Amino acid sequence: MTTTSTSPTTPGLAPMQAPERLSHLAYVTHDTEATVDFFTRIMQMPLIEAVMHERVPSTGDPYPYVHFFFRLQDGSTIAFFEAIGLPERSAPSHPAYLTFDHLALEVGTVAEVDAWKEWLVACGVEVLGPVDHSIIYSIYFHDPNGIRLEITTPLVADWNDRPAEAARIVGSFLGAKSDAREAGRPVQQVLREVIAANDRHDGSA
Ligand SMILES: [Fe+2]
């Protein structure tokens, strides 16, 4: 994999390398029992670490809590906290947050994604997809906490190694935002024009 960096370096310091891999991604739960059942029984991810403290070590906040971890095959983990008495999380300001915020887990093949759909449905989990994104193939569902999960597999080997294309698209997006501001035009409209031009250029739909 190429490791081309477009980030500025700090004068006088050798640049750091990117972190090696995911250690844990942590969420709040209000139902440890349902969360343990879902991740161990349905996701087949073993519960492999847990701690319980009277206060939060990093901040000293006095919330007694349990913190527990489920492991993926590569050793990375998904973790949860349950702190008794914590009020429910506020609803997001727009439903798009419920779609865009998600956690994607990779499997080896399209057949495995399809097998996961069959398994999840048999376990009583509502599943959206499969969706062919041309670079990855995915299904979507939710854990008992409402966290949107994705099981996905790459359809092209270099899907996560296209730095030039990524820089071009992000630059195009940022350009559309600044062009719209300068022209006093609605950003969504300018962005739609840029996306349509891109689609004509690369032939995708
Ligand atoms: Fe995703």
Amino acid type, 150: E
The predicted pLDDT at position 57 comes to: 80
Cα 59 to middle of ligand 1, angstroms: 32
Coil, strand or helix at 98: helix
Cα 175 to middle of ligand 1, angstroms: 24
Cα 132 to middle of ligand 1, angstroms: 12
pLDDT (tens digit, 0 to 9) for every residue of the chain, 205 residues total? 444 445 566 778 888 999 999 999 999 999 999 999 999 999 999 999 999 998 878 888 888 999 999 999 999 999 999 998 889 999 999 999 999 999 999 999 999 999 999 999 999 999 999 999 999 999 999 999 999 999 999 999 999 999 999 999 999 999 999 999 999 999 999 999 988 988 776 544 4
Cα 102 to middle of ligand 1, angstroms: 7
From 142, 135, 145, select the one nearest 169 (Cα to Cα).
135
Q: pTM to 2 decimals?
A: 0.88
Residue 36, both tokens: 């343990």
The predicted pLDDT at position 56 comes to: 78
The predicted pLDDT at position 3 comes to: 45
Q: How far apart are CA 152 and CA 116, in angstroms?
A: 10
Residue 125, both tokens: 């989990």
Can you say how many angstroms the Cα of residue 161 is from the centroid of all Cα atoms in its chain? 17
Cα 124 to middle of ligand 1, angstroms: 22
Q: Please check whether residue 173 is in contact with residue 53, taking contact to mean a CB–CB distance below 8 angstroms.
A: no
Cα 52 to middle of ligand 1, angstroms: 32
Cα 64 to middle of ligand 1, angstroms: 33
Q: How far apart are CA 40 and CA 85, in angstroms?
A: 25
- Long-range pairs of 189-195 with CB within 8 A, sequence gap ≥ 24: none
From 167, 174, 203, select the one nearest 190 (Cα to Cα).
174
Coil, strand or helix at 126: coil
